[in-house]
Amino acid sequence: MSQLLRCNKNQIERVEFNSLSEIPGWIDAHPREMSCRDSETYPSTLRWDRNTNYDAALEIVKRGGLWEEGGKALKEATLKMADLKVQGRVPALDNDVCGFMPDVPAFLSGDPCSMWNDSESEVEQSPIITVGVSLGQSASVSSGQAFNYGAAVMSVVDELENKGVRVELWGCYANSSISGGSDFRVLLKAADEHWSPNSVAFALCHSAMNRRIMFRVVESFGRLARFAVTCGRGYDLYGEFDIWFHYLLGSESDWSSDPESAMKYVSGLAQGQLDNRKEAA
């Protein structure tokens, strides 16, 4: 559902999608309100969108964002995850003098606590960690840089899941300009959902997610005319997630141009925020 928020006295349009596959239907229900058509008319190149035009990108999103090529880009991430277990309460059954169902063996043995009753027990659980990832990048960022960054983020999520952490993963297109901005979020993985790198690879690693799909979403907001010209500048959502991976700038080519350097940088971002989370607990 769409709602208006305020950020630095500018209107920020907030929309949340429960999955990638919801986006095409939302686009159909929200016709383009502005003359800008960069999502469809900007020329496709390897550097801009990996030679993926709007129609091709939309087809991938309709299939839930499955992109096996991107899913194969996982690398090994090393994170220190000590003492992340948390105590939680889960439903349980206990014997009691009254309850909703008899415990026949207990009754036959003369035990006064011969009924099953609802209760709760305290158990050690894996925590839920929320991860937010900016789906945007500046125009000077190449598709290769975007791929390296997204693959490193995906590898960090893979490491968290392998260590038993339940990750709730959000892709965020948060941008602002003088005339307003947007805060579009899509749930890429629920905390209790099976982890599948292939299903999030397009959103995280493919620049067409930003330059075709998210551009098209923005084009449905005519009142943000000036914003539409450049699709704004990214703003960060630190504090709204346990781990936030920021908007990618072209000036960050020193690490994003190389897969190994991107992995080192992204792992450091994640580790720092995990350490802060542990200190605050």
Q: Give per-residue pLDDT as tens, 259-268.
A: 999 999 999 9
Q: Supply the pLDDT for residue 39.
A: 92
Over the range 161-175, which residues count as b (16 or more CB within 10 Å of their CB) and which as e?
beeebbbbbbbbbbb
Residue 212's pLDDT is 95
Q: Which CA distances in Å does 239 have to 132, 185, 208, 243?
A: 10, 15, 27, 8
pLDDT-flagged residues of the chain (< 70): 1-13, 82-93, 103, 105-107, 119-125, 176-181, 222-234, 279-281
Q: Which residue reads 């960050």 in tokens?
A: 252
Output the pLDDT for position 250.
87
Residue 219 has a pLDDT of 84
- In this predicted structure, what is the pLDDT of residue 167? 97
Say if strands 233-234 and 115-125 run parallel, antiparallel, or are unpaired.
unpaired
DSSP annotation of 97 reads: S
Distance CA 134, CA 98 (A): 54
Q: What is the pLDDT of residues 7-51, one digit of tens each?
A: 444 566 678 999 999 999 999 998 887 777 889 999 999 999 999
- pLDDT tens-digit map of 158-180: 999 999 999 999 999 887 665 56
Domain map of the chain by residue range? 3-80+127-280, 88-125
User: Global pTM?
Assistant: 0.81
Give the helix, strand, coil percentages of the chain, each rounded to 5.
40, 25, 35
Look at residue 190 in the predicted model and tell me its pLDDT: 97
